[in-house]
Chains A and B, each alone.
Chain A
Amino acid sequence: MKRVVITGLGVASPVGNDVSTMWENLLLGKSGIDLIKAFDTTNHTVKIAGEVKDFQPEQRFEPKSMKRLDRCVQLCMWATHEAVEDAKIDFEKYDRTEIGVIIGSGIGGISIWEREHEKFMNRGPARVSPFLIPMMIPDMTSGYVAIHWGLKGPNYTTVSACASGAHALGTAFRSIKYGDAVAVVTGGSEAPITPFALAGFSNMRALSRRNDEPEKACRPFDNARDGFIMAEGSATLVFEELEFAKKRGARIYAEIVGFGATGDGYHITAPAPEGDGARRSMERAIREAGCPKESITYINTHGTSTELNDKFEAIAIKNLFGDHSQKLVMNATKSMIGHTLGTAGAIEAVVTILSMYNGKVHQTLNLTDPLPECTDLDIVKGSTRDLEIEYALSNSLGFGGHNCTLCFRRYTP
């Protein structure tokens, strides 16, 4: 079994289009949630989201190639460019049949789907773009990254709604651990802020309707929470086999040591009672990491700001950790970024790794009145906190009952 380390990070997020800006804003407690600018929301009940601002992919890539990609893949290319630069890896120097790409997306190219479907309905089948299918399929994230960088190892996309990004990282980790690749470019991407998708999520009653106070809308683990906030973004991480990374002199952020995946087998959208699936996914990640559960210092929670998720995730943590749950430090990145759906697990893995690497955990914005299940849990609020982290977990739970937990360990040479 090989050891797997993280050597490159890249993002496009509602609080910054690069890793350092995102991290600074999270430490400052800045929200990226605002009124939707992408389209007119007059007829929508929900008018707020976490949009990626000033996004100009033509700054980094050829305009013709960007025109052929949905925003979902454009965001992914943006984040991947940063991650590859950050890892300082020149792929051409290595056997690229041993380097894979596994990027998750919950929905894929929904904006092209909507645009072309409108043409189809109004003007008939002959007017539908030949680029509809390649732009729409969620796996074009992994496909296009491989095309651009010439990577020919394992290549596919994981789809598990809001856990897609986390499953991508988990499978990337296993690919390297089991010797199928020496490096994998992994992450998540999502661009769901469209009129049609907003209507769908809104009519599920899943979204916050706090339109008059966008920055206060996302309040994980708070009694006044009223739903999640849709967001877009992308995060890419470069995973490498430890010896391969050391040999090329790579800077190592952290080690990934556990991947737990479970299913609820319960309901299409509601989590299983008491967060049973989430508890078991955390248990599995810790089992693979091979550490006592008391060695976990920090959990980056799924923390969506929905009624059931936050309550059940808190219960799951208490049921698994027992007395140790009171010593754990937790936060919810979505309080500032919103819910980037298929990206969430990847972007929160980036945040978990940065927290470990920098010894700091950001606050959970808007947490002022913790729900009863959380009054004895240490969920960081008010300001950033210094914290030395040895082992950390990151949870991602998706519609359909997909639960995924990743376990990271601080890297010490």
Chain B
Amino acid sequence: MALFDDVRNIIVEQLHVPPEKVMMEAKFIEDLGADSLDTVELIMAFEEKFDLQISEEEAQKLDTVGKAVSYLEGKVTT
């Protein structure tokens, strides 16, 4: 779960939310108070942390914590 911890830390820092709110099913916009610019910045922070590129098409699908985690797991382990 090291990857989840990293993702959660980024979300907590970027969106200023308490860690316990960052659950797998939480939606960035509806549940964690992000606006459209926050989500762009969040994706950029993931790219930075995990040293990868996320296309805009892919990024648009990542609207929950869980989707982001599984996407990143797939990219980081391969």
Q: Kindly state the interface size class of chain B when it binds its partner.
A: under 10
Interface string of A187-216 (1 = CB under 8 A from B): 000000000000000000000000000000
CB under 8 Å from chain B, chain A span 131-145: 131, 134
Q: A63-B16, A64-B16 are in contact. Are A134 and B44 (CB under 8 A)?
A: no
CB under 8 Å from chain A, chain B span 38-52: 40-41, 44, 47-48
- Does chain A have a CB within 8 A of B37? yes
**How many pairs of A and B residues are in contact by the CB < 8 Å rule?**
19
- Does chain B have a CB within 8 A of A129? yes
Q: Closest CB-CB distance, A300 to chain B, in whole Å?
A: 41
Selected contact of A67 from candidates B16, B44, B53, CB within 8 Å: B16
A131/B41 in contact, CB under 8 A: yes
Q: Closest CB-CB distance, B12 to chain A, in whole Å?
A: 11
- Does chain A have a CB within 8 A of B62? no
Using Cβ atoms and an 8 Å threshold, which residues of chain B touch A413? none
Using Cβ atoms and an 8 Å threshold, which residues of chain B touch A63? 16
Selected contact of B37 from candidates A62, A64, A126, A131, CB within 8 Å: A131
Selected contact of A130 from candidates B15, B16, B37, B48, CB within 8 Å: B37
Interface centre among A62, A63, A129 (most CB of B within 10 A): A129
- Does chain B have a CB within 8 A of A88? no
A127/B37 in contact, CB under 8 A: no
Give CA–CA (A63, B47) in the complex, Å: 24
- Of all chain B residues, the one with the shortest Cβ separation from A134 is B37
Give CA–CA (A63, B18) in the complex, Å: 13
Interface of A is mostly: helix
Q: Closest CB-CB distance, B40 to chain A, in whole Å?
A: 4
B16/A127 in contact, CB under 8 A: no
Using Cβ atoms and an 8 Å threshold, which residues of chain A touch B40? 130
- Of all chain A residues, the one with the shortest Cβ separation from B13 is A67
Interface centre among A62, A63, A130, A134 (most CB of B within 10 A): A130
B41/A129 in contact, CB under 8 A: yes
CB under 8 Å from chain A, chain B span 6-23: 15-16
Q: Closest CB-CB distance, A124 to chain B, in whole Å?
A: 11
Using Cβ atoms and an 8 Å threshold, which residues of chain A touch B15? 64
- Of all chain A residues, the one with the shortest Cβ separation from B48 is A127
- Of all chain B residues, the one with the shortest Cβ separation from A67 is B16
Using Cβ atoms and an 8 Å threshold, which residues of chain A touch B41? 129-131
Give CA–CA (A126, B59) in the complex, Å: 14
Give CA–CA (A127, B41) in the complex, Å: 9
Using Cβ atoms and an 8 Å threshold, which residues of chain B touch A62? 16
Give CA–CA (A126, B45) in the complex, Å: 11
- Of all chain B residues, the one with the shortest Cβ separation from A131 is B37
Using Cβ atoms and an 8 Å threshold, which residues of chain A touch B48? 127
Q: Closest CB-CB distance, B10 to chain A, in whole Å?
A: 14
Q: Closest CB-CB distance, A270 to chain B, in whole Å?
A: 42
Give CA–CA (A348, B44) in the complex, Å: 43
Using Cβ atoms and an 8 Å threshold, which residues of chain B touch A131? 37, 41
Interface string of A170-190 (1 = CB under 8 A from B): 000000000000000000000
- Of all chain A residues, the one with the shortest Cβ separation from B39 is A130
Using Cβ atoms and an 8 Å threshold, which residues of chain B touch A130? 37, 40-41, 44
- Of all chain B residues, the one with the shortest Cβ separation from A64 is B16
Give CA–CA (A131, B47) in the complex, Å: 17
Using Cβ atoms and an 8 Å threshold, which residues of chain A touch B44? 126-127, 129-130
Using Cβ atoms and an 8 Å threshold, which residues of chain B touch A129? 41, 44
List 11 interface pairs A-B (beta carbons < 8 Å), by A numbering. A62-B16, A64-B15, A64-B16, A126-B47, A126-B53, A127-B44, A127-B48, A130-B37, A130-B41, A131-B37, A131-B41
Other than A126-B44, A126-B47, A126-B53, give 7 A-B pairs with Cβ distance below 8 A: A64-B16, A127-B44, A127-B48, A129-B41, A129-B44, A130-B41, A131-B41
Enumerate chain A interface residues (CB-CB to B < 8 A): 62-64, 67, 126-127, 129-131, 134
